[in-house]
Structure 1
C-alpha cells in the first residue's frame, strides 16, 4: 500500500512541476525576468539527482536499514508534507508565482499563510520532497545525492530571488527578511 501511494504521489509531483513550470513561466521578452540561469540549473540538478539516486538505488544494495517499512512510511510522510507545503505556497502567491525569477508590476511582499513563517516555503516543500526521494531509496548515497545538490541549487536560487526582491521592494523586503527566516522557522 505504501509503495502504491508513493508511486501515485511521486508521479503527481513530477507532473505538477512540469505543469507549474509551463504555466507560470514569465517570458523573457517581458523585461522583468531576473533568473540568471537559476531555473535551468535547478531543472538540471533535479533531473540529475533523481537519475543518480535511482541508478544507485538499483545498483548498490540497500544500505540504510535494509527494507525497513518505517523508513518507507517516513519517506511517504516527508513526500506528503513537502507536496502540501509546496502547493500551498504556490497557491498562496497566486498570479505572483513564477517558475523563473521575475517581479510583476502588481506583485507585493507576501506575509500571509506559510509566508508568515518562512520566506521560501515552496523551496522548503521541494527540499522535503527530495529528502523523501532519498529516504525512499533506502541508500545513504542516494540520500546524499537527492538532498545535497538540490539544497545547493536552491541556495543559489534563493540568493538570486532575494536580490531581485530587495531591488524591487527595498526596505519593505529587507524588514521582512529580518523578521522571517528563509527556510526553517526561527532557525534559518
Structure 2
C-alpha cells in the first residue's frame, strides 16, 4: 500500500461514514436547542470532531501543508489501519441498523445486535476511526488529532449520556451496564437475574 492509497482509504472511510450518518432518519442537522449549555458543548464537540476527523485528513491528503510531519511510511502499519477503519465503518453501520435497547414487558432492557455487547458502539467506532487515522496517515499532526478529539468527546459526553439513561431507566440500566461494556465488550458475561 502506498501513502497515497492510505490517504484515499481515509477519504473513502469519510464518505462511507458521512453517508451512514446522513441516512439515519433520527439524525437532523438543524435541531432546536433544549438545554443551551449542553447543546453548545455538543455543538463545539461536533465541530472539533469534524475538523479532526474530516477536515485535517482531507487537508493532509490534498495539500502538502502537513508533509513536514510525516513519518517514514510503513506499509504494514497502513494495512492495520485499513482493518481498523473498515471495522469502524462496519460498527457505525451496525449501531445505526440495530437500534438502541428498549425496555421489555418484564422491565429488562432488551438489546439487539452490537448493543448486546456495547452500550456506546458509536464511540467505539470513533475510537477505531481515530486509531485507523493514526495508522493510515502516519503523520504526527494529522494522525493523533483524531485520538485527542475522541478522548475529549468520550470523557465529556459519555458520563452525561450514562446519567441520562440511569435517570430514565433506573435499575434496568444498571443491569444493562453490568451485562455490557461501554466501548469495549466485556470479556466475561454477567448473569442476568
* TM-score category of the 2 structures, normalised to the smaller one: 0.7 to 0.9
* TM-score normalized by the length of structure 1: 0.73
State how many pairs are aligned.
171
Structure 1 runs not aligned, ≥5 long:
98-102
Shift of 1:140: 2.7
CA RMSD of aligned residues (A): 3.2
Answer yes or no: is the 8 Å Cα contact 1:79–1:132 preserved in 2.
yes
Answer yes or no: is the 8 Å Cα contact 2:119–2:177 preserved in 1.
yes
Report whether the alignment pairs 1:82 with 2:85.
no
Who is 2:26 aligned against? 24
Report whether the alignment pairs 1:145 with 2:152.
no
Decide which structure has the larger Cα Rg and report it. 2
Deviations 1:17-70 (A, max 9, x none): 2443xx3137558x7x89922541331121221334555674243543x12222
Who is 1:61 aligned against? 68
Q: Which residue, out of 7, 18, 22, partners 1:14? A: 18
Answer yes or no: is the 8 Å Cα contact 2:78–2:136 preserved in 1.
yes
Shift of 1:173: 0.2
Task: Give the 5 Å matches for 1:36-55.
Answer: 36-37=38-39, 39-50=42-53, 51-52=55-56, 55=59
Structure 2 runs not aligned, ≥5 long:
103-107, 188-193
Q: Which has the higher contact order (CA 8 A, sep 6+)?
A: 1
